[in-house]
Amino acid sequence: MGVFDNLKEEFNIEEAESQVKSVISTANEKIEEVKEGIKTQKYTIEDKEYIKAELQDLIASDREVMESLKDMIVNGGGTPNLYAVYATVSKSVRENVQQLKELCKDITNYQVIESNEEFKEKALASKERLAEKRLAGKSNGNNAPGQITQNNTYIFNPKEQYEVMKKLDIPAVQVEHPDFDLS
């Protein structure tokens, strides 16, 4: 048995390597699932936030593994396999950070597109309301949108007013005037 075999047994390097490979394979499976899901389904912001949280958790756990591997390497247990495992985990962290960056970019783009869609919907609704007002105005005889209809009144002179009231058969009110003695 060589020195490196003793160190492998002492630090459980094979177990650490298997754990790292398990984490990496799980991460790659999840990443593939997410990529397939993105292609086939329109995610909501909540879904993307969940994926973002999962990626951040995965990055954090990979960094913890890197710290333990780094401690093993610093303490002198640095076998060539341990360096390779450290490099693989480091690569996994880098790829996950890049995917997190892309996801954040997608979330931002999605929010911008969503706000643009809302703005377009509001503008379309406003245009529809204007069109309805125009059609309602044309059916009422108004040609211009927003045109104000003015009700004109005719002021009669007293003679014309008397004639109109006579035609309407409105009885005249008799007013009694008091007699004044002016002497």
Residue 65: closest CA among 75, 54, 73: 73
Residue 22: closest CA among 121, 100, 89: 89
Q: Regarding predicted confidence, which is higher, 14 or 85?
A: 85
Average pLDDT over residues 65-92: 81
- Mean pLDDT value across the chain: 76
Q: What is the pLDDT of residues 20-35, one digit of tens each?
A: 888 888 888 888 887 7
- Kindly tell me if the per-residue pLDDT of 80 is higher than 80: no
pLDDT for residue 4: 66
Chain Cα centroid distance, residue 3: 59
Confidence grade of residue 61 (pLDDT, cut at 50, 70, 90): confident
- Kindly tell me if the per-residue pLDDT of 101 is higher than 60: yes
User: Is 42 part of a structural domain of the chain?
Assistant: yes
User: Is 153 part of a structural domain of the chain?
Assistant: no
Q: What is the pLDDT of residues 136-168, one digit of tens each?
A: 766 555 555 556 666 777 777 888 877 877 788
DSSP secondary structure letters along 36-81 = HHHHHS---HHHHHHHHHHHHHHHHHHHHHHHHHHHHHHTT---HH
User: Is 157 part of a structural domain of the chain?
Assistant: no
- 157 phi/psi in degrees, rounded to 5: -85, 165
User: Is 171 part of a structural domain of the chain?
Assistant: no
Residue 91: closest CA among 16, 15, 24: 24
Q: Which domain holds residue 27?
A: 3-139
**Gap between the Cα atoms of 160 and 127, Å rounded:** 49
How many structural domains is the chain composed of?
A: 1
- 163 phi/psi in degrees, rounded to 5: -65, -45
Q: What is the pLDDT of residues 10-21, one digit of tens each?
A: 777 777 778 888
Average pLDDT over residues 108-134: 75
User: Is 125 part of a structural domain of the chain?
Assistant: yes
pLDDT for residue 169: 75
Give the Cβ contact number of residue 148 at 10 Å. Answer: 6
